[in-house]
Amino acid sequence: MATMNRFCWYELRTTDTGAAQAFYADVVGFQIRDTPGGSLFFRGDRPVAGCSPLPERAAARGAPAHWLGHIGVRDVEGLSRRILAQGGEQLGPTRTLEGGATRMILRDPFGSVLALVSPNHEVSTGVVVWHDLNTRDQAHAWALYSDLFGWKATETVDLGPELGTYAKFAWDETGASVGGIVGSARLPHVHPHWLFYFHVEDLDEALAKVRSRGGKVLAPRQLPSGDRVAVCDDPQGAAFALHASAMRA
């Protein structure tokens, strides 16, 4: 069952599923299996993400290939109405997925796309280690997400005059930080979106595979903890990030 009020599932919506599957199998170490409900990425015996064609309707609206994060909630319709009332947009009809889960895809009032999914959806564990929200209105975006899902602020980091502050958050008051919200109003080339970080054992090796397979890599950076991260685009244009722990740095 989906874990409530936090990201519980991730789906790659792409223009070339076969090429994307081969890319993530090589770079992140996913295994691919076809199921009655569509293609899934596995780690070991656990499904960790989905892979599906970018819907024609989304492509017609100019949507690029992207990773879609699903937040598990008990009341998909009720929380969707609250997002819509604050200026969000519903993207397509509410759907019943394989296994009976209900899903609604929305654009939040600040431009980032997310999905709300009911508790009987499959759960992904351990594949995404960090969640970044790039948004044009950091303060109001945080007010929305914290109010809807009960997320708690944990730490604020000053990123300098170009980016301003980086506000870390936890799913609830008992947990460690799981992501952050950063304002991108001064970075017109960065569109509003959720960015998901996948863990790898060796960052340099993984980045070499990204480049060799036609993906793009921004300069890796080292965090105060000693961990290293890098933001990437896959060959179809979907943004993602890679993370490696300090022991492998």
* pLDDT value of position 249: 39
CB distance 37 to 99 below 8 Å = yes
* pLDDT value of position 161: 73
Give which of 71, 103, 87, 247 is closest to 171, Cα–Cα.
71
3-state DSSP helix/strand/coil % of the chain, to nearest 5: 20, 40, 40
Mean pLDDT, all residues of the chain: 91
CA-based end-to-end distance of the chain: 35
Q: What is the pLDDT of residues 135-158, one digit of tens each?
A: 999 999 999 999 999 999 999 988
The 10 Å Cβ neighbour count of residue 201 is: 11
Q: Which phi-psi region, left, alpha or beta, contains residue 226 (left: φ > 0; alpha: ψ -120 to 50)? A: left
Helix boundaries (H) for the chain = 17-27, 56-60, 76-85, 138-149, 203-212
pLDDT at 170 over 50: yes
Q: Are strands 179-183 and 113-117 parallel, antiparallel or unpaired?
A: unpaired
Q: How far apart are alpha carbons 148 and 157 in whole angstroms?
A: 24
| Distances in whole angstroms, Cα of residue 61 to Cα of each of 41, 58, 92, 93 | 27, 5, 12, 16
One-letter amino acid at 215 equals G
Domains of the chain, with CATH numbers? 7-117 (3.10.180.10), 128-248 (3.10.180.10)
48 alpha-carbon distance from chain centroid: 13
One-letter amino acid at 98 equals E
Lowest mean pLDDT, pick from 85-94, 188-197, 227-236: 188-197
pTM: 0.94
Kindly indicate the confidence band of residue 188, based on its pLDDT and cuts at 50, 70 and 90. low
Kindly indicate the confidence band of residue 248, based on its pLDDT and cuts at 50, 70 and 90. very low
> Mean pLDDT throughout 52-70?
93
